[in-house]
């Protein structure tokens, strides 16, 4: 799933990929200026 979120560095709206791995929902945020950020979106 693809969504939008804010870059933690520049606070711009950037493309974010939401995916599941090992039962956790992870976010991969891709900022053209600051690169890729990974975040846990939800865990049980
Ligand atoms: Zn950024």
Domains in the chain: ranges and CATH: 2-42 (2.20.25)
- Residue 43's pLDDT is 63
pLDDT for res 12: 97
How many C-beta atoms surround the C-beta of residue 29 within 10 A? 21
User: Do the beta carbons of residue 6 and residue 27 sit within 8 Å?
Assistant: no
The alpha carbon of 44 and the centre of ligand 1 are apart by a number of angstroms equal to 29
20 CA from centroid of ligand 1 (Å): 23
Classify residue 5 as exposed, middle or buried by CB count within 10 Å of its CB (0-12, 13-18, 19+). Answer: middle
Going from the Cα of 40 to the center of ligand 1, the distance in angstroms, rounded, reads 18
Q: Residue 41 has what pLDDT?
A: 84
In the structure encoding, which two tokens stand for residue 15, read together?
């493309």
* pLDDT in 10s for each residue of the chain, 44 residues: 999 999 999 999 999 999 999 999 999 999 999 999 999 987 66
Residue 34, by phi and psi: left (phi above 0), alpha (psi -120 to 50) or beta?
Answer: alpha
CA of 2 from ligand 1 middle (Å) equals 17
């Amino acid at each position: 799933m693809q969504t939008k979120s804010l870059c933690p560095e520049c606070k711009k709206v950037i493309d974010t990929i939401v995916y599941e791995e090992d039962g956790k929902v992870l976010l991969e945020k891709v900022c053209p200026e600051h690169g890729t950020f990974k975040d846990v979106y939800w865990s049980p």
